[in-house]
Amino acid sequence: MRKIGVTIIFLIFILSMGMAKDKSIGVFVSLNEEHAFWKSVRSFMEAVASDLKINLRWDYADNNQIKASNDIEKETSGANPIDAALIVNFKQQGESFFTALDKKKMPTIIHVVGADHNVSGKPREKHKSWIAEIVVDEEKVGYELAKRLINDAEKKGLKSSDGKIHIIAISGLVSDLLSQQRETGMLKAINEKSNLVKFEQIVSTVDWSTREGHDKFIHVIERYPSISVVWCANDDIALGVVKGIREIGKLPGKDIVTGGIDWVPEALQLVKKGEMVCSIGGLSWHGGWATILFYDYLNGKDFINDTTVTVETQPEVLSQENVDTFLKVFGDGNWEKVDFKKFSKTLNPKLKKYDFSLKNLMNSL
């Protein structure tokens, strides 16, 4: 009897350990781990996950949708599947990802590149396991960046011999919804200044990288030597453009102005020095906010009555006017200083409403 009793106690212990097992989130990334943007995403997410005792399992597709699909199958199968999935809609594969995750009844949030609602509907409609999307108005982001670049060039008198500011755009992958949305916003801003601006061309990249940004700029400047504005679809591309501007013997921020999106640390340093006009960001934090929503959802606190199924964050612009304030607080990239438990309704029962703004993050310190 004593042996049976010990065995039962041991089994109860094992079961309780299993019940207390930390949750795991599969993070499915469209590109590779060398991209500055995804490094920023990971740094922020890991700090959040550490506070919430969540395991993150990272899978990098390297721009290969077949690998992404295989990664999803791998992480949702076997003896130790993930508890939730954070995905990106790249190469318009969101619908196939949702379908695969629905079969596993896997709670899913999409971020960075949102879903095509005409194809996939909205969260919790066609795909029941797709519980939310974290988005920003990407047309607004593309518009704001173009507007600021044009205004800066006008202030600096960077007009060509025809009296106009010549502008090109170096964008992301042509099939990505994110590229298309940002370009739409950019073109709107340019059309509003058609009397002042001559738009030359949109040049696409494959992997949104610094290397491609540099190479595309060097090539296009030969064709359009009077360019004074380069709109970039992200900071990685802008970093390559700044390098290219220097290589042709011109001064970034003076002879040719550029800017980007994502708040990549290296880009913010260039903003501080005046070599980039601005960086528009907040997108790299979406993974961290998704981690908090997952944590509460998996602990029985659905966020739907607070945020609805679409969590829209507001884009924030960092320029020379305010980048120093940001860098003094977060420039070291040490997110461990933030207690992210404060942002969870499970761990902070007094919290009435989620607030994922830059202001609230800074006030939390």
Tokens of 49: 């996950």
User: Within 13 Å and on the Cβ side, how many CA atoms surround 23?
Assistant: 20
Q: How many CB atoms sit inside 10 A of residue 282's CB?
A: 22
Cα 111–42–82 angle (5° rounding)? 70
* pLDDT tens-place string over residues 91-142: 889 999 999 999 999 999 999 888 999 999 999 999 999 999 999 999 999 9
Q: Under 8 Å CB-to-CB from 271, ≥6 apart: which residues? A: 259, 277, 278, 279, 318, 319, 320, 323
pLDDT of res. 90: 86
- Using alpha carbons, list the distances in angstroms from residue 186 to 5, 59, 216: 71, 32, 19
The band of 19, judged by pLDDT with boundaries at 50, 70 and 90, is very low
For residue range 222-236, list pLDDT tens digits in order. 999 999 999 999 999
Question: 36-55: per-residue pLDDT in tens?
Answer: 899 999 999 999 999 999 99
What is the reported pLDDT for 16? Answer: 44
CA distance readout (Å), 83 to 57, 86, 152, 181, 298: 11, 10, 47, 31, 8
- Give the CATH fold of the 24-136+283-316+332-363 domain: Rossmann fold (3.40.50)
Same fold: 24-136+283-316+332-363 with 139-281:
yes
Q: What is the pLDDT of residues 129-186, one digit of tens each?
A: 999 999 999 999 999 999 999 999 999 999 999 999 999 999 999 988 899 999 999 9
Domain boundaries, the chain: 24-136+283-316+332-363, 139-281
CATH number of the structural domain 139-281: 3.40.50.2300
Asked if residues 271 and 321 have their Cβ atoms less than 8 Å apart, the reply is no
Q: What are residue 59's DSSP bridge partners?
A: 28
The answer for residues whose C-beta is within 8 angstroms of residue 302's C-beta and 6 or more apart is 296
Full-model pTM: 0.89
Return the percentage of the chain with pLDDT > 70, whole number.
95
φ, ψ (nearest 5 deg) of residue 337: -70, -20
- Classified as helix, coil or strand, 70 is helix
Residues facing residue 29 across a β-bridge: 60
